[in-house]
Structure 1
Amino acid sequence: MLMLMHKSSEQAAAWQMEERKLSEARAEAKEQARQDQLAQAKEAEIRAQEREAVRKQEREEAIQHRIDENTRYEANQAAQERSREAFQTAMLAVLANMSRGPSAPPS
């Protein structure tokens, strides 16, 4: 009977040891899963930040492109205005010369 109690006690101790090992393994697996989730979340955050940086750069480039286009447009408008003024000045000079009448031939 004593032998049976001793054997039963050994089995209980072995079972408790096995349960502790299983519990530790489950805890380690749970911790590893948590670490994996944290790593995935960090990677997702980094990718989101990179996408936002790319979008920001694209917006800045688009703004700069519009500024450049506007500058070119204004320069073209100014050049056209100068050309128009030069044409008008030339036409006024021609009309002024025409209104004087024919020039006397040189003697």
Structure 2
Amino acid sequence: MTAVAQTHPRHELDDLLLHPVRFSVVAALARAGTLGFREVRDAVEVSDSVLSKQMSSLEDAGYVTVGKGFVGKTPRTSLTLTARGRAVWAAHLDALRRIADASPPD
């Protein structure tokens, strides 16, 4: 059996970013750098629990860092896209563009 070369750009898509909520979170952070938990939640239109779960997946992969702090006595959580997250995001978008721009086979 011979191995088939994987040249289609879909093989370069990041599996973690195929999930629409994670994709949307990283997109928001790529534009803004750092956002508060509530800002991200509202921007991607999900519940606190959904964002928390997806945020944990992104943090475990090293794509985002999660900061905890206080504003007065109110706890605040912030999300920041890491350098690794930015690189993965750029590669993922590049693969999507190449898929979208590909000429149909003859």
| Structure with greater Cα Rg | 1
Give TM-score scaled by structure 1 length: 0.22
TM superposition score normalised by structure 2: 0.23
- Larger helix fraction of residues: 1
* More strand as a share of residues: 2
